[in-house]
Chains A and B, each alone.
Chain A
Amino acid sequence: MTFSPELEARFEKMIGLYPPGRQKGALIPMLLYAQDETGRITDELIEEVSKRLSVNKVEVEEVLGYYTMLHREPRGRHHLQICTNVSCMLVGGEELWHHACHKLGIGNKQTTADGQFSLEEVECIGACSWAPAMIDNYDFHLRVTPESFDALIESLRQKQ
């Protein structure tokens, strides 16, 4: 399995960032960066990463169940993560969440039929002073209203 030249270069450098013999340290960053390219964690990817870091496959699978950003199932091209934790909840985060579900016709951790959007209700994303907030893949959107959410969806659809 090969990755883009940029990612290959990054991986090569990454392994040297941990003490000798402790290259397993690179496991979680490697999985996340690889997932960004492959879209999800596949069996092939698990095999590849375990080989590159000389760890057992089960050691890879062990962390997959723990970290919420690592996922084996495919997600939408735009994975929309809406925060409903306290700071967001106080200023309309829950309403935004329900609006988003209704607008896209999907629920938590579901993907639209065209594969364009998936939704996830997430815990605090560190945008509390600019709430309610959400993330589209890795892009933060602050002080989101139902109207600005609709506008975002339209603009993402048109970009397609």
Chain B
Amino acid sequence: MLFNEPHPLEVKVLTKRFEYPQKDPIWIDEFLAKEGYAAFRKALEMPPDDIIGEVKKSALRGRGGAGFPTGLKWGFVDRSSPKPKYIVVNADEGEPGTCKDRVLMENDPHMLIEGCLIAGRAINANRGWIYIRGEYRYLIDILDRAIQQAYERGYLGENVQGSGWTFHLSTHTGAGSYECGEESALLESLEGKRGNPRLKPPFPATSGAFQCPTIVNNVETYCAVPSIILNGGEWYAGLGTPKNGGTRMVCLSGHLNRPGVYEVPLGYNLKQLIEEFGGGVWKGRRLKAVIPGGSSSPILTADEIDIPADYDSLAKAGSMLGSGATMVLDETTDMVKLAHRVMKFYAHESCGWCIPCREGTAWLEKMLRRLDEGIGVARDIDMVGQLSHSMLGRTFCALGDAAAMPTISIVEKFRHEFEAKLAAAQSFAPEPETQPLVVL
């Protein structure tokens, strides 16, 4: 199975059943033997409000990137609505640097199914979909088999475990689009359309999949729920920091001695995470910067990372915990090239629905490419910042912000590198005279 050697300092909640090395996914017999579906059986005896209450107490926050309190989100659904209620799993893992959800689904697929069942009970849903990115085709096979097993053992289908309650679950594939990781675009895609985001409000809890009340959560978020129900919300909350409960999967990548996916408590010091888990910066080099939560999160310099890694502390530091993707950059990293590569991604993935994002990312990519290739001009540096600022908050979804925020931070914190690259290029060719656009 795809997994790196675990680290002795890990706190294993989501990964408690994993073995290393593990040859096959944990199928239903092994899952049941290791406390599997025990939380769901417990939840069957609980009133929905108590389930949501435990999740609220746990201080579990969305692990897809936004960090919204999960219990609060579930509480927004009107259970008495005459419309069907739906559960949607966001398994469109696409935030650059993120490779954790696949580890959970690949090793312990029934944990996700159990999380969906509990969520389904909590909002009185009878159907759910797991929306998986198309590139993870092999995971669809694993999940389909696990779902089949759950149907055979009466954990899915009609009259689940003799409760009289019906719950159906199936996989649904995407086909190559980062934007479909945005929840409203994901729902559009689930309905067989282009993945353009929807105007919000209404939020999915009111009008989601097929215009019915829906909760959309990340894979890891659902996976945390069984442990919360089994051990109590307070226990889970106690693993992390106030308002930031539990453990999270962190994906360490980049210039490290030991990149890998590890499970750590919320609030684990970011610097220690890199040194202890990641084994420090590779090749004996010094650290330059860290992207703490996927390429959408603002960059932190080497002297800004001695902080607890939880949602609130990272927000205070001007960045985001995001999706847990921690990218580590050593002293040799070319920050102009980095800014260009990040923007190339957003320009490629912009769905084109809103003009500030469609045009903004494309122009920023052109300007950053110019700077990267040494054919830019000095005012490009300021213009990159201005253009990024003018994109912020002016789009239907967060993709525009996701492109702007890291760019602003890279230009601000590493402006000297942009200037140096420009100066080096200009020592070969002097800055050309600006040509007027219209000659009168």
**A interface residues with partner B (beta carbon < 8 Å):** 17-19, 22, 24-29, 31-33, 53, 55, 59, 62-63, 66-70, 81, 84-87, 89-91, 123-131, 135, 138-140, 142
Residues of B within 8 A of A68 (CB): 175-177
Residues of B within 8 A of A129 (CB): 4, 99, 251-253, 259-261
* Interchain residue pairs with CB less than 8 A apart (12): A19-B212, A67-B175, A86-B295, A86-B341, A91-B254, A124-B94, A124-B345, A126-B93, A126-B98, A126-B133, A128-B259, A129-B260
Instruction: Pick the 7 closest A-B CB pairs, nearest first.
Output: A27-B192, A69-B176, A68-B176, A67-B175, A24-B192, A87-B253, A128-B253
B195 within 8 A of A: yes
Q: Is B255 a contact of A66 with CB atoms below 8 Å?
A: no
Given contacts A86-B341, A91-B254, A129-B4, A29 and B84 within 8 Å (CB-CB) = no
Extra contacts besides A32-B134, A123-B94, A126-B101 (19): CB < 8 Å: A17-B172, A24-B193, A25-B191, A33-B173, A62-B193, A63-B193, A67-B177, A68-B175, A69-B176, A87-B253, A87-B254, A123-B345, A126-B93, A126-B133, A128-B98, A130-B4, A131-B253, A138-B138, A139-B138
Among A62, A125, A127, A128, the most chain B Cβ lie within 10 Å of the Cβ of: A128
| A128 vs B97: C-alpha distance when bound (angstroms) | 5
Q: Is B194 a contact of A69 with CB atoms below 8 Å?
A: no
Interface 1/0s, chain B 374-393, versus A by CB < 8 A? 00000000000000000000
Given contacts A19-B210, A123-B349, A129-B261, A87 and B192 within 8 Å (CB-CB) = no
| A24 vs B84: C-alpha distance when bound (angstroms) | 18
Residues of B within 8 A of A70 (CB): 175-176
Q: Is A26 a contact of B192 with CB atoms below 8 Å?
A: yes
| A55 vs B193: C-alpha distance when bound (angstroms) | 11
Q: Among the listed stretches B74-82, B221-229, B325-333, which one makes contact with chain A, having 4 or more residues with CB under 8 Å of it?
A: B325-333
| A59 vs B194: C-alpha distance when bound (angstroms) | 9
The chain B residue sitting closest to A124, CB to CB, is B96
B178 within 8 A of A: yes
| A8 vs B101: C-alpha distance when bound (angstroms) | 30
| A70 vs B191: C-alpha distance when bound (angstroms) | 17
Residues of A within 8 A of B136 (CB): 126
Residues of B within 8 A of A123 (CB): 94, 96, 178, 345, 348-349
Interface 1/0s, chain B 345-369, versus A by CB < 8 A? 1001101000000000000000000
The chain A residue sitting closest to B175, CB to CB, is A67
B2 within 8 A of A: yes
Residues of A within 8 A of B138 (CB): 138-140
B95 within 8 A of A: yes
Q: Is B2 a contact of A140 with CB atoms below 8 Å?
A: yes
Residues of B within 8 A of A67 (CB): 134, 174-177, 195
Interface hits, B172-222 → A, CB 8 Å:
172-178, 189-195, 210, 212
| A138 vs B132: C-alpha distance when bound (angstroms) | 14
| A107 vs B134: C-alpha distance when bound (angstroms) | 23
Q: Is A87 a contact of B96 with CB atoms below 8 Å?
A: yes
